[in-house]
Amino acid sequence: MASVANRRSLMVLYSDSISPIGHAVRIVLAEKDVNVEINFIDDDNRPEELNELNPYNSILTLIDRDLVLYDAHIIMEYLDERFPHPPLMPVDPVNRASNRQLRYRVMRDLYSVVAELDSDNEIAAANAKKVLRDNLTSIAPAFAQMPYFMSEEYSLVDCCMAPLMLRLNEYGIKLPMSGKPLQQYADRLFEREAFKTSLSGIESEYNDNAA
């Protein structure tokens, strides 16, 4: 594994062009302005070296010389520590733990149902859409109090939220009027230069549709 990674002098990210969690990692890279080679691939054009580097056969993989990472949250925290400016996690342990807990809830309550949205089972897909819409609507009031997710400062939680908010139209989800603070929050995320830089070609189309 290390021998393949060592041949790389530039940080490399393998990502597909539509996965929201892969997009979250690309947002972090853009926020940090990291000099990185991003390779968009899918299961039909997987390079052989990726099979050697990633034992789980997943696409999302970061290579930084002899280091290979393939869990999105480990990648994001590594990037925040490796490139400390601008910081995307709090400095003190209590707030760092709270940030991790919020990301855990985003993954458990929101990301966990995304895979079911394209299910061949229409009932399962409809239920997943309802769960995602209801969960988003329930947290909307919090965004009337603070500009970012439970915080005055932009963080890794927002990097995870932005890809989901971008894809709501594609998921066929329309927020009710009570979700207006959440939509305003999404607009703030979409206006960030790093967000625009992070977009793949198909995500740029999502962004045009969301405008």
Tell me the pLDDT tens digit for each residue of 136-166.
999 999 999 999 999 999 999 999 999 999 9
**What percent of the chain shows pLDDT beyond 70?**
94
Q: What CATH number does residue 153 fall under?
A: 1.20.1050.10
Please report the pLDDT score of residue 1 as a whole number: 45
**E-assigned strand segments in the chain:** 11-15, 36-40, 61-64, 67-69
Specify if 172 maps to a domain. yes
Specify if 205 maps to a domain. no
Answer yes or no: do 44 and 138 share one domain: no
Angle at 50 between CA 42 and CA 38, to 5 degrees: 65
Spell out the residues 6+ positions from residue 24 whose beta carbon is closer than 8 angstroms to its own. 72, 76, 159, 160, 162, 163
Tell whether pTM > 0.85.
yes
Please report the pLDDT score of residue 211 as a whole number: 61
Nearest CA to 210 out of 191, 198, 194 is that of 191
Do you find a cis peptide bond into 86, omega within 30 degrees of 0?
yes
User: For residue 142, what is the DSSP state?
Assistant: G
Answer yes or no: do 182 and 100 share one domain: yes
CA pair distance 197, 46, nearest whole angstrom? 24
pLDDT beneath 70: ranges in the chain: 1-9, 210-211
CA pair distance 20, 26, nearest whole angstrom? 10
Number of folded domains that form the chain: 2
**Structural domain harbouring 47:** 2-82
Please report the pLDDT score of residue 7 as a whole number: 53
Answer yes or no: do 76 and 141 share one domain: no
Specify if 46 maps to a domain. yes
Answer yes or no: do 115 and 195 share one domain: yes
